[in-house]
Chains A and B, each alone.
Chain A
């Protein structure tokens, strides 16, 4: 071991690695950030060829029931009220709501039909989506670690149950850079209302679209459903565009003079960002102004599209953003947490999302955008085969279930008209081709041309990744 003396010796020194680290950590903190390569990963050799450029993530907050929507288990019909076999539950961790109660099976009361040329089975609750069956890959073998909403959503959105990690969209903004100089890279659209019940609803948290340890310019910009779509976008009363322009000209003049004198290139960044803000004052209203959309397109999305804040309106907005090369659009739709009276509430939720998300696929395809846009539809976990609430064939609820759930994907690089993975007869355990949340993330990144192992950021002594520390795999079986 070294003596004290040598540990005290320290000549000023900047190692190459230290320099790289200091500059990448300071990304955005200085104008030097602007000089760094836009894409940290794509320049590397050995990266996958990109199949898509953008993502729309339809997040079903509250966790929809895979048993009633995607994972058809006709064998359960004769098991109503039977206890769940111990061989299936295997001492599974449960929620506070189920603990100490008997786990009795309740089958779905909704019918399933084969759809499209591919014949994939779709629930009667999703008629519009079932007509898109040949475009869609349904993954039936999703798995997560979390059993409660908050950690579950955080896990799906950031790859970790721990708060403070970077979200999917911010990783893409950081890793792939911007394609549009007038709009943010990552936009979040929250449904202002939903049909399926207000009783069991969870809050959302801005951390779900936060940038965590990544520079905050990569965080999601949540569009508001009322007032300014982007906070503080509009000029206040008494200020019009001409006044704003004149005021900004003066600000620019003074800032430029100041840059000349003070020397700090950061002042140049400030000038550029003020000009971008001014451009956003016209580009964002243009984006959210639907008056130019033909009736045929509006009709495609259904009647709810006329209500600001509806999921349908947000789907149409998402398409308009994708058209303008926003990198990542994430929609949040709440109201899926059906612990009771599921048969009454689930149809309403499906009414909210079925036609609009089907319309989104059609609309994107009609414009040639679906080829390089990935659309993902997922909640934070699944729901149990055993019931909660009343245990009648047409009145039941389901508890949280992390061991399996269903998600679907469509668009750039995804093979349509297939299902992937399989669960047991109770839709309780995955029996074939499990897909962990990190695998879903790795696959999304792969389609965007990014090796998930190489998209990293140093924080807390680790090279942090969206896919976390456990090994993630690209789900090759769903790729076109």
Chain B
């Protein structure tokens, strides 16, 4: 569309009309126009303009920075994000309205975005962004002409489960997920992909539900079960495995930035592993999501809280925390609380609350005051805002008060005994004057007893928790976000654009428990949607709303709002049953589609947003490592406990640690601990394990609702050269030589099936077999090299080193295949 033409033909007459004072005559038409617009929505007109879908993104991008929710930056007292009210777009000022429904001539906005006069053009040329392009102008034009109807942002309106039509295709799934997806595909004239083959299905479901690949026996058993409902039975078996909880927990731990160090300055050790274990158990035990949320937000405030509920409240202790004596404590306090509020927003609301620390939110109706009203719920920890002394039992075991101790009876008795002995020795000491000969042995005795008591105390199981101070801290708006510039005092409350907070005790100030109940109240439009979207994302690689961390107005418009809302409502109505939700997703035909498609299909819809095929994406770092260990038979089955340190290249920590960092030197664990699942790997925030971060694991310094997936040469180097991975390959190769088929081609099949759950086609078998032959010949000519690869192995005369070396490299090759590192 030609901007200058528009400006001439339509905007200028408006000025003319204004000059003649005609606007007043046109004003009564406003309501009629709105009514007409509403009527127009009944038709399925392809030209229909939807405010939320089409118009809001344009206004948000070009206008809201100065004419949006942020009062401080608002120009001309004009908001374009709302229609009515004193600042609203419809209000007439000096005889003109910014938006006059139905009339381009009388809409100042239309003139301003199309005018040739640079000084009047919006957004102002220069620093304020780009002018609207032809397509955006067309959207605005059609919207105004069609009645300029506003809508509440979709995510702030409660989800409604509409009646779902049965799928038109009887061979396709009849449940709501499949019906809704199929209806969408049919509207586009696209057919769904056929169901994936059974080997693909068992691998896909096992990886997605447990984070581990199926064993060869499991594959065989599934193939042998030809009865109806075999797949459903498989899914039930997988959901019952304890590995399910470990896998589900991992996504949650990204979201809440779980780690094993403080994340600032010395980056000392901090132990919140009981919280991690609680998350795993919560998923395995089928803790309903509303309780899962409530116990994390306010487990400490529940009546007679259980150990688990107290442990869950450790959610509030996962923030970064600085060493004492570095910053000013009041600054540290404010940083911790802002961190807490931001994670609350990301994890439970899917909102970018942190954007409203310094000013009103630019795009969402979150005022700066709203942020600090939420802040008031979280600023009352009964504990120091910085870490304590760098000695003593607490420091060694990574605890910061408040925490709850769970000593065994034996430990309690021993501690009481030692305390008594220390007191006795101290009173004896007091009897002697300074310099008396008796003092020295007594001093030594006291020190020894204290050491012993510290030793016993260090072994006591303890959990960092949330605990309220008796007297709530007052809260204020921070002027421009500065902690030392206190503005207006605020009371605890929730943002006004969401349903009101209901208090347990009407007379008292609201509590965190009230806030938690508000989060999981059926009226809350966000909680269930945000949660189901993240679960969906786990199984399809991308959420129905891609911006799973942001459901605000700048988040993505959902690709399947009806499906999202159906899932949200049914999830809530199921009693927030996560396992049931997972089961519904993975047993849908939509999920079971084959991911094989022509290249054009990948180009047209690279992220499979239409769901016209099965999802296909690279496995996460943890799954890649766990898969290597599991398929080699090396994975430890042990669950829970303190985080462990599998080996990593020497010196990685050296670049970041300080002389007094605790721990300073990376000391790998030994034995079974280095073969634990990756969810138990020690996470140093300053330098997380490179095996994980190279494959896009986040640093766990801030909340991450979705990981990205890149494809880099560093990843290729990792998978080729990581020594533990190669050792695992060698272990499996030995297993294949000793217990697998004797014939080389069959051995290739055996290895390939063990790792990928598939059988290689003839050409793949041929390629790997040829490599095995060539490699054995190469190692045969260089036996020293072969012996280096076999170092530490007991070959026992049964196998020659070149053969073992060659098959190790073939196994490693299979580890490096795209089919292995991808879930398809």
Asked whether, in the complex, the Cβ of A231 is within 8 Å of the Cβ of B649, the reply is yes
What's the Cα separation between A286 and B519 when bound, in Å?
A: 57
Given A148-B326, A164-B702 in contact, is the A238-B788 Cβ separation under 8 Å? yes
* Residue from A1, A9, A14, A202 in contact with B265 in the complex, judged by beta carbons closer than 8 Å: A202
State whether the Cβ of A79 lies closer than 8 Å to any Cβ in chain B: no
Asked whether, in the complex, the Cβ of B718 is within 8 Å of the Cβ of A243, the reply is no
Question: Closest CB-CB distance, A27 to chain B, in whole Å?
Answer: 9
Asked whether, in the complex, the Cβ of A264 is within 8 Å of the Cβ of B651, the reply is no
Mask: chain A, 234-273; 1 = CB below 8 Å from B; 0 = not: 1111111011101111110111011101111111011101
Q: Which residues of B contact A3 (CB under 8 A)?
A: 38
What's the Cα separation between A217 and B708 when bound, in Å?
A: 10
Asked whether, in the complex, the Cβ of A276 is within 8 Å of the Cβ of B716, the reply is yes
Looking at chain B's contact residues, the main secondary structure is loop
Q: Which residues of B contact A202 (CB under 8 A)?
A: 265, 658
Q: Which residues of B contact A23 (CB under 8 A)?
A: 606
Subset of 20 A-B contacts with CB under 8 Å: A7-B152, A7-B154, A8-B562, A9-B50, A15-B557, A17-B61, A23-B606, A26-B606, A96-B326, A96-B328, A203-B266, A224-B651, A226-B654, A232-B721, A232-B722, A250-B810, A261-B596, A270-B716, A332-B655, A461-B363
Q: Which of under 10, 10 to 19, 20 to 34, or 35 or more describes the interface residues of A? A: 35 or more
Q: Which residues of B contact A246 (CB under 8 A)?
A: 771, 774-775, 778, 809
* Residue from B38, B559, B610, B701 in contact with A164 in the complex, judged by beta carbons closer than 8 Å: B701
Asked whether, in the complex, the Cβ of B607 is within 8 Å of the Cβ of A257, the reply is no
State whether the Cβ of B184 lies closer than 8 Å to any Cβ in chain A: yes
* Residue from B658, B709, B789 in contact with A29 in the complex, judged by beta carbons closer than 8 Å: B709
Asked whether, in the complex, the Cβ of B708 is within 8 Å of the Cβ of A233, the reply is no
Asked whether, in the complex, the Cβ of B596 is within 8 Å of the Cβ of A263, the reply is yes
Asked whether, in the complex, the Cβ of B265 is within 8 Å of the Cβ of A203, the reply is yes
What's the Cα separation between A259 and B602 when bound, in Å?
A: 12
Q: Which of B171-217 contact A (CB under 8 A)?
A: 184, 187-188
What's the Cα separation between A251 and B609 when bound, in Å?
A: 30
State whether the Cβ of B671 lies closer than 8 Å to any Cβ in chain A: no
State whether the Cβ of B301 lies closer than 8 Å to any Cβ in chain A: no
What's the Cα separation between A198 and B556 when bound, in Å?
A: 49
Asked whether, in the complex, the Cβ of A12 is within 8 Å of the Cβ of B559, the reply is yes
Given A4-B157, A250-B771 in contact, is the A10-B708 Cβ separation under 8 Å? no
What's the Cα separation between A252 and B817 when bound, in Å?
A: 8
Asked whether, in the complex, the Cβ of A277 is within 8 Å of the Cβ of B659, the reply is no
* Residue from A25, A216, A257 in contact with B761 in the complex, judged by beta carbons closer than 8 Å: A257
What's the Cα separation between A9 and B187 when bound, in Å?
A: 14
Given A148-B326, A238-B788 in contact, is the A29-B708 Cβ separation under 8 Å? yes
Mask: chain B, 591-609; 1 = CB below 8 Å from A; 0 = not: 0000111110111001101
State whether the Cβ of B393 lies closer than 8 Å to any Cβ in chain A: no
What's the Cα separation between A265 and B597 when bound, in Å?
A: 11
Residues of A within 8 A of B (CB): 1-18, 21-23, 25-26, 28-32, 93, 95-97, 99, 148-150, 162-164, 190, 192, 198, 201-207, 210, 215-217, 221-222, 224-228, 230-240, 242-244, 246-251, 253-255, 257-259, 261-267, 269-271, 273-274, 276-277, 280-281, 332, 453, 458, 460-463, 471
Q: Which residues of B contact A5 (CB under 8 A)?
A: 41
* Residue from B602, B782, B821 in contact with A264 in the complex, judged by beta carbons closer than 8 Å: B602
What's the Cα separation between A267 and B821 when bound, in Å?
A: 10
Asked whether, in the complex, the Cβ of A244 is within 8 Å of the Cβ of B720, the reply is yes
* Residue from B187, B322, B694 in contact with A150 in the complex, judged by beta carbons closer than 8 Å: B322
Asked whether, in the complex, the Cβ of A251 is within 8 Å of the Cβ of B816, the reply is yes
State whether the Cβ of B4 lies closer than 8 Å to any Cβ in chain A: no
* Residue from A2, A15, A32 in contact with B152 in the complex, judged by beta carbons closer than 8 Å: A2
What's the Cα separation between A204 and B556 when bound, in Å?
A: 35
Q: Which residues of A contact B58 (CB under 8 A)?
A: 17
Asked whether, in the complex, the Cβ of A13 is within 8 Å of the Cβ of B713, the reply is no
Question: Closest CB-CB distance, A41 to chain B, in whole Å?
Answer: 13
Question: Closest CB-CB distance, B153 to chain A, in whole Å?
Answer: 9
| Closest partner residue, chain B, to A97 (CB atom) | B325
| Closest partner residue, chain B, to A165 (CB atom) | B702
Asked whether, in the complex, the Cβ of A6 is within 8 Å of the Cβ of B151, the reply is yes
The 10 closest A-B pairs by CB, nearest first: A238-B789, A461-B554, A250-B771, A277-B716, A2-B151, A238-B788, A276-B713, A253-B767, A30-B606, A277-B713
Asked whether, in the complex, the Cβ of B655 is within 8 Å of the Cβ of A204, the reply is yes
Q: Which residues of A contact B264 (CB under 8 A)?
A: 150
Asked whether, in the complex, the Cβ of B54 is within 8 Å of the Cβ of A236, the reply is no
Q: Which residues of A contact B83 (CB under 8 A)?
A: 1
Q: Which residues of A contact B304 (CB under 8 A)?
A: none
Given A95-B328, A232-B718, A461-B355 in contact, is the A6-B603 Cβ separation under 8 Å? no
Asked whether, in the complex, the Cβ of B717 is within 8 Å of the Cβ of A277, the reply is yes
State which of B420-428, B544-552, B635-643 sits at the interface with chain A: B544-552
Asked whether, in the complex, the Cβ of B655 is within 8 Å of the Cβ of A207, the reply is no
Question: Closest CB-CB distance, B824 to chain A, in whole Å?
Answer: 7
What's the Cα separation between A392 and B177 when bound, in Å?
A: 77
Q: Which residues of B contact A150 (CB under 8 A)?
A: 264-265, 322
Asked whether, in the complex, the Cβ of A273 is within 8 Å of the Cβ of B716, the reply is yes
7 more A-B residue pairs beyond the given contacts A13-B53, A246-B809, A461-B60, with a C-beta to C-beta distance below 8 A: A6-B50, A8-B561, A203-B658, A217-B710, A227-B649, A231-B714, A251-B813
Given A274-B816, A460-B549 in contact, is the A238-B768 Cβ separation under 8 Å? no
Asked whether, in the complex, the Cβ of A203 is within 8 Å of the Cβ of B690, the reply is no
Question: Closest CB-CB distance, B38 to chain A, in whole Å?
Answer: 7
State whether the Cβ of B565 lies closer than 8 Å to any Cβ in chain A: yes
State whether the Cβ of B362 lies closer than 8 Å to any Cβ in chain A: yes
Q: Which residues of A contact B649 (CB under 8 A)?
A: 224, 227-228, 231-232
Q: Which residues of A contact B151 (CB under 8 A)?
A: 1-2, 6-7
State whether the Cβ of B819 lies closer than 8 Å to any Cβ in chain A: yes
Q: Which residues of B contact A17 (CB under 8 A)?
A: 57-58, 61, 136
Question: Closest CB-CB distance, B484 to chain A, in whole Å?
Answer: 7
Mask: chain B, 766-778; 1 = CB below 8 Å from A; 0 = not: 0110110011001
